[in-house]
Amino acid sequence: MGGLTQTLLGGIGSGAIYGLMGLSFALIFGKLKICSYLNGDLSILAAYLCFWSFTLWHVEPFITAVVLCPLFFLIGYFVQTVFLKKFMAMEIWQGRYQSQIMVTWGIGICIMALEYMLWTATYRTMGVSYRNSVVRMGDIAVPYVDIWAFVVMLVVLVGVNLLLKKTTLGISLRACSNDRVSAMLSGINYQRVCAVTFGISAVIAVIAGLFYTLTSQVTPAVGVDLTFKGWMAVIIGGMGSLGGSIVAGIIMGLVEALTSYFWLPALKEVVLFVGLLILLIVKPSGLFSKSR
Amino acid sequence: MAFGGMELFSGINLSFEKDKVYGIIGTNGSGKTTLFNIICGVLTPTHGQVFYEGNEVTGMKPWQLSRKGIGRCFQMVKPFNSLTPYENARVARSSAGHYSKGEEKFSLDEIMELTGLKDKRNIVTSELSLPDKKNTEIARALACNPKIMLFDEVSCGLSGEEIYARMDLMRKIADYGISIIVIEHIMMFIKEICDEVVVLHAGSIISSGDPSVVAQDPKVIEAYLGGRKL
Amino acid sequence: MKNNKLRPYIIAGLIAIAAYMVLLFGSDGGYLSNFIVYVCLFIIASQGWNLLGGYVGEISFGHAVFWGIGAYTVGLPIGYDLNISPLLLAFAGAAVAALFAWIISYPLLRVRGFPFLVGTYGLGVVFEKVFVASPKLFATKGVFVANDLNRFFLHGMIFVLMIVVTVGVKWLTDKDLGLRFKAVRDVPEAAEMVGVNIYHTKTAALVIGAFLCGLAGGLYVLYSGFINPTTAFDSSVSISILMGPYIGGIGTVLGTVFGTSIVIAIQEWARSALPFTGGQHMALGLLLIIIMMVSREGLFPGLRKLALKLSGKTKDKTKEKKAA
């Protein structure tokens, strides 16, 4: 029994990372209909930078992440203003989503290629001292990192919600999400709102990457994997609901953990995607979508 | 023969008879387009039923209804932009029109002629002007072999002359034995072409009957001009 | 009118055939000949992808699944030493892929956009993992598909099939069904209003596309003589399939031919010129970004627009001259 509880807790830990990835997509897709496919690669880039600074200079990864946040905010801002801006005014029939997906995906491939060049395809493990330290509760051992991931995920969720509800940026963002043209007519700089939101989404990706590198082994190809897991969380959570994608991420983590526990770790993705297909048959709009 | 009958919004019954031109007017938000969406199957009414040619069609999908002979033009034009007007009509003829083979009232060439797109039939629709885009939509709806056509504010955004052309076109369509329901804001338009008019206000019918009579109805005037203030 | 429309295709076809003859007899089945075969195979698969991705507008990241199904339908019976004609198997593989596409369309195509994209990617992952984990399906060892087909015959057949498929797709997209594909892509709600069943239309595109991908996959195995989960189902195969239409011109038949040739050529070039890991990815990623930023519709429509612009200008000039 203890083993199962242990597994479930581990699942919540990795689920928190998927939830964060999902949140970073849900924020830009749900609110602004920007379709990005590079956040997973940004995460892994951040993970590698944390790894690098730790192995070369023994910098605490959490500190590196704090430094990386503004940097990645700028990267996100830059990607939106330089690459995605010209697709924002396009209608869907003109291939708006296709173009966005392809550009961001192209950037993602380039980031991945860069990682291959700098760090090769070897699986990297960051040897921080607290990696294996655990909190013991009876016969259950919960890794510190998992607890941290979960707490940080909740903090990010609350933070993003506060940002949306309380700040001027959040209010303009919601205005743009409701009606782009009216928002622009009332003096909101639409492109800037988009760019800032993309930046925030990139920062969330950094946080997900930080915890990924603390809990798992990193290789460049994981970026695409994280991207798709994040999008899965968005779909399961109901296309753009922020809380929904977090919950969906945790469910995904649990499904993976349970598959590894009862069956084969190699088949966890298989079960996950088959589950997604079943969900699409039963409830195509996702678990937590507001019914229209 | 009862052509259609429905319970709308708040316990109202509305029926349209064959071979007539109906006008629907009403203030913004009175539910005109919602009514169209229910007839076309885009929206399924929460309660109440829709009948068409004596059969219940509530909850049918738009593509099923269009195969039965309901054609529609949108308020905001939505032609297939990467196709030419002729191809737009071809899509409709091969899809919805396919289910009423042998009953075609006109061939595709006649439709092009009728809607005045004969010279522009091979130009990609996204490069056409707004009136021609609207014509393309009418051509597309006609190619479905409709028995009833719904026009949602086809005069919106057109100049006076173009509106007259549109009225002529509608009369011609009616002459072919196709029933028509139009949503319009322009009273002159309604008076010219409609046999009967229904006035919607806040989701209920406040008046219906002959256009010139309805126009004098104090309730209609109140709804449009805000009677108390006058 | 009609002749004018056909002329560029005929000229392109003649040039291609001439070039092909020179290469085939000049290089005697060496490196270049292999390269041409791979290009042709990926063109067949890309045309299949293009039906759904380009004409209906549903991007799939998992057409490698159909490619792989076609490949394994050829590979498994041969791996188990069953005595079945390999060519028959290749076409059977295409049929199996189409059948699978028809089944999978039920969950995947009922929703528009991202669920489809993510679902198709997931499908690729599922197939790769299942094949890797099953020793009965030869796991990571893969299958060596020995066959006594004449390589020149195979080469010629693949080339002819490529042309047949390209012309066939062009023909199909000018038919009513092809017009319906575009109608669904342009305005789905209006397409429904003229009696188009969106789900059936998309399924048709997916199934025909899967047939072509499966055919290409089966022939790939016959030509290369080896198949394992990575060469069958990996996302890099999907990427090779979908990059061509994007680079060349999504929703155009000739663009797909050019685009796929360019993509495979770049991959080959990067393999020798950028021998470090990631070199290929970098080249393709940069190409994709540049194409999307410069000419969003792809190289072929972009060039056509440019040509129209230039010829338009020259026409204006002649008019001016006449006026003067």
How far B63 CA lies from chain C's nearest CA (Å)?
4
For position B5, what pLDDT does the model report? 47
Q: Which residue of C has its CA nearest to B40?
A: C193
pLDDT-derived band at C23 (thresholds 50, 70, 90) equals: low
DSSP calls for B145-179: --SEEEEESTTTT--HHHHHHHHHHHHHHHHTT-E
Q: Helix, strand or coil for residue B52?
A: strand
For residue B142, give the nearest of B59, B183, B86, B194 by alpha carbon: B86
pLDDT band at C5 (very low <50, low <70, confident <90, very high): low
CATH topology classification for C27-323: ABC transporter involved in vitamin B12 uptake, BtuC (1.10.3470)
| Rounded-to-integer distance, Cα A177 and Cα C87, Å | 54
Backbone angles phi, psi at C232, to 5 degrees: -95, -50
Task: Examine the pLDDT at B6 and tell me if it is beyond 60.
Answer: no
How near does any CA of chain C get to the CA of B224, in Å? Answer: 32
> pLDDT category, C144, cuts 50, 70, 90?
confident
State yes or no: pLDDT of B195 exceeds 80: yes
Hey, where are the domains in chain B? 2-78+147-229
> What is the average pLDDT score of chain B?
80
Q: Which residues of C touch A110 (CB under 8 A)?
A: 281-282, 285-286, 289
CA neighbor of B125 nearest in space, from B95, B87, B92, B152: B87
pLDDT band at A158 (very low <50, low <70, confident <90, very high): very high
**C118 pLDDT more than 70:** yes
pLDDT value of residue B7: 47
Q: Note the pLDDT of residue B159.
A: 80
CB A19 within 8 A of CB A249: yes
As a whole number, mean pLDDT of residues B70-98 equals: 85
Chain A residues within an 8 Å CB radius of C125 = 269-270, 273
Residues of C in contact with B69 (CB under 8 A): none
Threshold 0.90, pTM exceeds: no
Question: pLDDT tens for residues B46-79?
Answer: 777 788 887 888 878 888 888 888 888 887 788 8
Residues above pLDDT 90, as percent of chain B: 0
What count of Cα atoms within 13 Å lies in the side-chain half-sphere of residue C19?
A: 9
Tokens for C32?
């270049």
C187, amino acid identity: V
Position B226 scores a pLDDT of 62
Smallest Cα distance from C127 to chain B, Å: 35
CB-nearest partner of B95 from C182, C187, C195: C195
Q: How confident is the model at residue A159 (pLDDT cuts 50, 70, 90)?
A: very high
What letter represents residue A191's amino acid?
Q
- Tell whether A97 lies on the interface with C, counting CB pairs under 8 A: yes
Close Cβ partners of C210 (under 8 Å, ≥ 6 residues apart): C48, C63, C66, C97, C98, C100, C101
Neighbours of chain A (3+ CB pairs under 8 A): C
**Least confident span in A13-17, A26-30, B56-60, C142-146:** C142-146
Top pLDDT among A45 and C25 is at: A45
Token digits for A15?
């689920």
Question: How far is A249 from A216, CA to CA, in rounded Å?
Answer: 17
pLDDT digits (tens, 9 = 90+) for B133-181: 888 888 888 888 888 888 888 777 778 788 888 888 888 888 888 888 8
Confidence band of B229 (pLDDT split at 50, 70, 90)? very low
Residues C158-176 have a mean pLDDT of 88
How far, in whole angstroms, is CA B153 from its chain's centroid?
8
For residue A214, give every residue at least 6 positions away whose Cβ sits within 8 Å of its Cβ, in sequence order, or none.
Answer: A61, A126, A128, A131, A145, A149
Runs of H (alpha helix) within B61-129: 62-68, 85-95, 108-114
Share of chain C above pLDDT 70, in %: 90
Q: Tell me the C-alpha distance between C309 and C315, whole Å.
A: 10
User: How far is the CA of B117 from the CAs of B58, B121, B125, B131, B139, in angstroms?
Assistant: 35, 6, 11, 10, 9
| B200 has pLDDT over 50 | yes
What pLDDT, on a 0 to 100 scale, did the predictor assign at position B201?
A: 76
Cβ–Cβ < 8 Å for A79, A107: yes
Residue type, A281: I
Mean pLDDT of B18-41: 80
Number of Cβ atoms within 10 Å of the Cβ of B218: 9
The answer on pLDDT for C178 being more than 50 is: yes
The identity of residue C322, as a single letter, is K
Nearest to C192 among B63, B87, B143 (CB): B63
CB contact under 8 A, C193 and B62: yes
Of C235, C278, C288, the CB nearest to A224: C235
CB contact under 8 A, C292 and A102: yes
User: What mean pLDDT is reported for chain A?
Assistant: 85
B156/A165 Cα distance (integer angstroms): 38
Q: What is the chain A residue with the closest CA to C182?
A: A93
Percent of chain A with pLDDT over 90: 22
Chain C contacts to A (CB-CB under 8 A): 57, 59, 104, 106-108, 110-111, 113-115, 117-119, 121-123, 125-126, 129-130, 132-133, 185-187, 235, 246, 250, 276-282, 284-289, 292-293, 296
| 8 Å CB contact between C28 and A70 | no
Q: Which residues of C touch B (CB under 8 A)?
A: 176, 179-180, 182-183, 185-187, 189-198, 251
Residue spans per domain, chain C: 27-323
Q: Under an 8 A CB cutoff, do B91 and C185 touch?
A: no
Can you give the pLDDT at residue A2? 67
Q: Which two tokens stand for residue A224?
A: 């695409």
DSSP code of residue B205? E
| pLDDT > 60? residue B4 | no
Q: Flag whether pLDDT at C323 surpasses 60.
A: no
- What is d(CA A52, CA C97) in angstroms, rounded to the nearest whole number? 45
Within 13 Å of residue C201, how many CA atoms lie on the same side as its CB?
28
Mean pLDDT of A59-84: 89
Q: Report, as an integer, the average pLDDT of C169-173.
A: 90
Residue A266, pLDDT above cutoff 70: yes
Would you identify the CATH topology of the domain B2-78+147-229?
Rossmann fold (3.40.50)
Mean pLDDT of C237-261: 86
Q: What 3-state class would DSSP assign to B55?
A: strand
DSSP string, chain A: -HHHHHHHHHHHHHHHHHHHHHHHHHHHHHHH----S-HHHHHHHHHHHHHHHHHHH---HHHHHHHHHHHHHHHHHHHIIIIIGGGTT--TTTTHHHHHHHHHHHHHHHHHHHHHHHH-S--B----GGGG-EEEETTEEEEHHHHHHHHHHHHHHHHHHHHHHHSHHHHHHHHHHH-HHHHHHTT--HHHHHHHHHHHHHHHHHHHHHHHHHHS-B-TTHHHHHHHHHHHHHHHHTSS-HHHHHHHHHHHHHHHHHHHHHS-GGGHHHHHHHHHHHHHHH-TT-TTPPP-
User: What pLDDT, on a 0 to 100 scale, did the predictor assign at position B52?
Assistant: 82
* Cβ C11 vs Cβ C19: under 8 Å: no
Given a contact cutoff of 8 angstroms between Cβ atoms, the answer to whether B199 and B22 are in contact is: no
pLDDT computed for residue C318 by the predictor = 45
Closest CA to C161 of C16, C316, C43: C43
What's the whole-number mean pLDDT along residues B113-130? 84
Q: Is the dihedral of CA B38, B142, B201, B6 positive or negative?
A: negative
Say which range, A276-285, C132-141, C255-264, has the weakest mean pLDDT.
Answer: C132-141
Q: Do B78 and C194 touch (CB under 8 A)?
A: no
The pLDDT value given to residue A198: 92
Question: How many other CB atoms are found less than 10 A from the CB of residue C234?
Answer: 18
Task: Establish, for the pair of chains A and C, how many residue pairs have beta carbons separated by less than 8 Å.
Answer: 130
Task: Concatenate the DSSP letters of all residues of C142-180 into one string.
Answer: -EE------HHHHHHHHHHHHHHHHHHHHHHHHSHHHHH
pLDDT at A181: 83
pLDDT given for residue C96 in this prediction: 93
Distance between CA atoms of residues B211 and B190, nearest Å? 7
Domains of chain A: 2-122+139-282 (1.10.3470)
C269-321 tens-digit pLDDT: 888 877 777 788 888 888 888 888 887 777 877 887 888 888 765 544 444 44
Q: Is the pLDDT score of C111 beyond 50?
A: yes
Percent of chain A with pLDDT over 70: 97
